[in-house]
Amino acid sequence: MIFPIFFTFALLLSSSLASVQDFCVANYKAPEGPAGYACKKPAKVTVDDFVYSGLGIAGNTTNIIKAAVTPAFAAQFPGVNGLGISLARLDLDAGGVIPFHTHPGASEVLLVAQGTIIAGFVSSANTVYLKTLKKGDIMVFPQGLLHFQVNGDKTPSLAYVSFSSPSPGLQILDFALFQNDLPTELIAQTTFLDVAQIKKLKGVLGARNLKHEAHEFVVQEVHRVPKGNAENPAKNQHILKTALASTQFLCYVTMIFPILFTFFLLLSSSNAAVQDFCVADLTAPDGPAGYSCKSPANVKVDDFVFSGLGVAGNTTNIIKAAVTPAFAAQFPGVNGLGISLARLDLAVGGVIPFHTHPGGSEVLIVIEGTICAGFVSSANTVYLQTLEKGDIMVFPQGLLHFQVNGGEATALAFVSFSSPSPGLQILDYALFKNDLPTELIAQTTFLDVAQIKKLKAALGGTN
């Protein structure tokens, strides 16, 4: 009685463990992929890859913004690559400013370790969320939204920020608008700023030491923000608004322009965060979320088109079934896009045996015939259904499932995955088609040794 339960439990466990990649320490010598650097060979990874001491040192705030950002992103701290997290240290001298910016790739949490910081962000609905933070306070800045930090106090402040990405990115607003080759007329059309204003800022930011000048511009305006009032956020907003209204920058625009301007900035920021595509470069190493990106100059329309699913798979085999994948490995255009497909052909009596896709959920649509499909949940519930032409069924990521042709005719289905590389672990292969010792399988599955040996023999397993 108890063994079938243990058996299912062990299988689920083995399937989910098999899908886990412990870490993917950044290999700086290989190209980046859609979610970070390629993985260093595990044999070359040392503990130092997981430790970073750079945030123990105060940044140099002897500069025009009286502030310093010290990052511990994947580029500095290889151990965070692929792990969805990173940190930075912010040092703000009295009057220091981190200018308006976005992190296109991550949300941020800030912890004030010393002093006070006036911090704020602007939502997509154009609401300003502004607060004077004291030592020990934390504040979150949602992904991609414009935000800033200011030390309005007379003593230095220190904060640590954590990001929901190992490479959150940083887009400084003024640089994005005025420090590139976007035509002035176009900026005017799309921001409603005066041409003279745009030219002035382009003049300031486009010449000499660009970074230096940008900071100078920003600090000239923002360092006038008086000390905030922790007890009265409304007053803080008033203070900041007054400060901003007094800036030369906004003197050039009328009442409506700040609103349109902010809207444009949000739009432009979010557009800037988008990578249109990352067509798989199958000759470069894999990264944590797929293949490296092919150089956009080499991308052709054929990378986005795949005709292989128009051809029926060969079902003349022991399972009377065939799976034809259009994963990133076959269909490079889906790399990094979170999607892929496959074609299932099942002859009469055909079976797609119990398997999992560790990296993706699946939706199946029946095009021809009848398919009996089912999956088993972590709570060990079985969800089983006979599907007719036009029916669709979803199979949650990583759960064991199967498809059987229960009808009298050939069946055809297409499946779509929530990943360009969903992976495929066939249960019997995982158990019986490798060199896992029979005794260990018996211990860990409660199957009889004779049964294991029989299946190993059938599938070509050893030991």
Using CB under 6 A, which residues numbered 47 to 66 contact ligand NAG? 60, 62
Task: Work out how close the CB of 65 gets to ligand NAG at its nearest, in angstroms, rounded to a whole number.
Answer: 12
Task: Work out how close the CB of 151 gets to ligand NAG at its nearest, in angstroms, rounded to a whole number.
Answer: 17
CA dihedral 57→61→67→70, nearest 10 degrees, is -30
Cα–Cα distance between 346 and 405 in angstroms, integer? 6
SS3 386: strand
Using CB under 6 A, which residues numbered 282 to 301 contact ligand NAG? none
Using CB under 6 A, which residues numbered 245 to 264 contact ligand NAG? none
Residue closer to ligand NAG by CB (options 97, 173) is: 97
Query: Binding site residues, as ranges?
Result: 355, 357, 362, 401
Q: Does 211 participate in binding ligand NAG (rule CB under 6 A)? A: no
* 49, two tokens: 């890859």
Strand spans (E) along 359-398: 362-368, 371-376, 382-387, 392-395
Q: Residue 168: what residue type?
A: P
Q: How many residues bind ligand NAG (CB under 6 A)?
A: 2
Please give the backbone phi and psi of residue 160, each rounded to the nearest 5 degrees, phi first: -115, 135
Residue closer to ligand NAG by CB (options 65, 204) is: 65
Task: Work out how close the CB of 62 gets to ligand NAG at its nearest, in angstroms, rounded to a whole number.
Answer: 4
Residue closer to ligand NAG by CB (options 62, 283) is: 62
Residue closer to ligand NAG by CB (options 59, 71) is: 59
Between the two ends of the chain, the Cα-to-Cα distance in Å is 28
Residue closer to ligand NAG by CB (options 64, 351) is: 64
Query: Binding site residues for oxalate, as ranges?
Result: 357, 362
The residue count of the chain comes to 463
Query: Binding site residues for Mn(2+), as ranges?
Result: 355, 357, 362, 401
Task: Work out how close the CB of 394 gets to ligand NAG at its nearest, in angstroms, rounded to a whole number.
Answer: 57
Query: Among 239, 226, 260, which Cα is nearest to 130's?
Result: 239
Give per-residue burial for 148-177: e unless 16+ CB within 10 Å, then b: bbbbbbeebbbbbbbbbbbbbbbbbbbbbb
Using CB under 6 A, which residues numbered 58 to 117 contact ligand NAG? 60, 62
Task: Work out how close the CB of 287 gets to ligand NAG at its nearest, in angstroms, rounded to a whole number.
Answer: 35
Question: Cα separations (Å) of 15 from 354, 397, 424?
Answer: 11, 11, 10
Residue closer to ligand NAG by CB (options 62, 307) is: 62
Which residues of this chain interact with ligand NAG, rule CB under 6 A? Answer: 60, 62
